[in-house]
Structure 1
Amino acid sequence: MKQARRLHRIFDLKREERFSVIGDGLEHLGAHVEQLMSSIEHLLREGQKSGAGALQAICVEESAKALILLDIARTHDQGMARKGCNYFYSHLPRLIYANVHASNPADFREIERYLTWLRPSHYLDGPNDVDWIWRNDLLRTRENALYVDYEETDDDYMWTGGDPDQFHVDMGAARLVLAMKHAGLLTARGAQATAAAWKGATFDSDTRWEFCRDKAWEVLKATLTSDTVPSEKLRSALRLIPEKWTFPLLSLELKEEPVSMDTLKERQDRYLSRQYGLDDYW
């Protein structure tokens, strides 16, 4: 019986065959992201913001899958690279990939700090930082863009989703992936150039983003042919890629971190006790 979700099989292939499969996947994803972006622009022109929001949610995850494939190519620790196959099929890791590449981390430590906010299943927020319990922001935004649901809140139940004024999907990762497509990185040649540029590369929490910028230029120079005539679209891509293509993320834990509701409620109670001096009576 034919089975889907078989990306792990690439590790059964010889290295050159693996790059060929990764390159095919990158080309498919690049074409898909480009088509989705075109459809999103059309829907926005027509004032169909809800439909555009649903496609945006899909588009950013497809963009993240291209970034994960490139990370598999540039990660030479095979055990670590295999994690990319798990992340390729999981919503939250894909959303974290998109979020990180839409931001501007100054160093690897900043990405590590992001994860303390991006991974928890639930968190406290509000005027006093503890007033309400919220679900994971990335997953909640994704679901609100795609679905209408009857949801429990701290105080009551309410219908959520389907209203584009209630959520925002950052398309920065999609723009980066489109730039990579224009620059020829979403190919087997691009994957090979990425692997070569990052071979033997080491970094730690203090490594600055300029390290990634220089590596991106190495990849671009190896991918672009000497007779390439840069169009305005390519010039724009060459500005964006070194600025936004950041560190490999496969060394990090990106899966959802379960947070107990009881733990959060205890934090709320402790805050209220301190706020109103109830600690004096225990």
Structure 2
Amino acid sequence: MDNAKKRPKGPDIGLHQARRLCQLDDAERLAFIAEGLPVILRSAQGFWAAAEKLQAHSREAKVLENYADEEAAKILILVDAVRCPPKLIASRLNKIVGWFYNHLARLIYAEAVSWKPTHLAELREYVDQQRHGHYLEGHAGEYIAPNWAIYQRESLLYADVEAYQDGTLEWSAPRDPPYGHFGSFRPRALLVAEAMEQVGMFTTAGLKAVSEIWGSLEYREKEDHHDGRKLTEQLLTRLHDEGLILDTAKAEHAGTLYNEWQIPMYNLEFSLIPVSLEELEAEQEREFWSMAGDPR
């Protein structure tokens, strides 16, 4: 065992090397990301196309739909790295690229497409609510449940052993999604990613425009969608002027970016927030007395 601990680390060869984007200079990084975005998009589209063919197998179709969603979220994460202001790149890029491999971060990014926060501070609250490792469920918070996004993903995908609050162990069999598989609804994160490609963002010149325009404003607290619409308008104008918008682009693609592209999240956190049993039990007690009426 001691000898094993002293063995040198193996070479950085193979998959899971996105963190090495941090070692590239700005121009190299933009060019490399531009090369990769279509690769990720085709992967997402492939999962979705397969999901649509499995309508009779709702669980398997939903698994593929979720894969499509997470692949599209990887695009949104990388584009947020591009939107990050130059003054923040050195301090934020390594963390942002780490989200590329983090299931929770990808699930939140995909879900966040549908959120309409007032500003970044409110979006931070939404994100933080999704990061809790456990939470209370039930009429009076009587049940302790694991992080819902992760649980939903894992319980759909794997057979596993599940533990309950009272210590009971049970086998968890992968189950069909509760509402079936709605194959006619393309994942919204995928729609945003496809719109980005259509307007010319998946090119080095397109990403350079994204970086220069969105990087001019740091999203810290009160910056909002009104600011974002102005930046999106500037971006679309420049992409048009530079002849980068594809011939297949439609007005709906611009509309998707105006209405569905979430404001930048490079200043937020996406790691799981541990919640202790003591904290959960204290919250349960507060929930109980708020329902029953505190006699004290």
TM tier, shorter chain? 0.7 to 0.9
**1:33–1:189: structure 2 CA closer, same or farther, 3 Å change rule?**
farther
Equivalence for 1:18: 29
Q: 2:190 aligns with which of 174, 179, 186?
A: 174
TM-aligned CA deviation for residue 193 of structure 1: 1.5
Residue 19 of structure 2 aligns to a residue in which SS?
helix
**1:185–1:125: structure 2 CA closer, same or farther, 3 Å change rule?**
same
Superposed, which structure 2 residues align to 1:190-205 within 5 Å? Answer: 190-205=206-221
User: Unpaired runs of 5+ in structure 1?
Assistant: none
Residue 53 of structure 2 aligns to a residue in which SS?
helix
Does residue 1:256 correspond to 2:267, yes or no? no
Superposed, which structure 2 residues align to 1:92-103 within 5 Å? Answer: 92-103=104-115
Q: 1:50 aligns with which of 38, 59, 71?
A: 59
Residue 141 of structure 1 contacts residue 168 of structure 1 at CA under 8 Å; is this kept in 2?
no
Equivalence for 2:176: 163
Amino acid in the other structure paired with 1:38: A
Q: 1:117 aligns with which of 115, 129, 132?
A: 129
Residue 63 of structure 1 contacts residue 98 of structure 1 at CA under 8 Å; is this kept in 2?
yes
Structure 1 length-normalised TM: 0.87
Per-residue CA distance 1:184-234 (angstroms, 9 max, x = gap): 222323221110112321344222212112212222232345496765x62
User: Unpaired runs of 5+ in structure 2?
Assistant: 1-10
Residue 248 of structure 1 aligns to a residue in which SS?
coil
Per-residue CA distance 1:12-62 (angstroms, 9 max, x = gap): 222211111111121111111122221122223xx2211111112211111
Superposed, which structure 2 residues align to 1:136-151 within 5 Å? Answer: 136-151=147-162
**1:227–1:271: structure 2 CA closer, same or farther, 3 Å change rule?**
closer
Give the number of the structure whose residues are more often helix, by fraction.
Answer: 1
TM-aligned CA deviation for residue 181 of structure 1: 2.3
Q: Which whole-Å CA distance do the structure 2 matches of 1:179 and 1:100 have between them?
A: 17
Residue 172 of structure 2 aligns to a residue in which SS?
strand
Per-residue CA distance 1:57-100 (angstroms, 9 max, x = gap): 21111111101111111112121122111111111111111111
Identity of matched residues, %: 26
Does residue 1:71 correspond to 2:87, yes or no? no
- Which has the larger displacement, 166-175 or 78-87? 166-175
Per-residue CA distance 1:118-176 (angstroms, 9 max, x = gap): 01000112112x11111111111211232233322346535343312268899221221
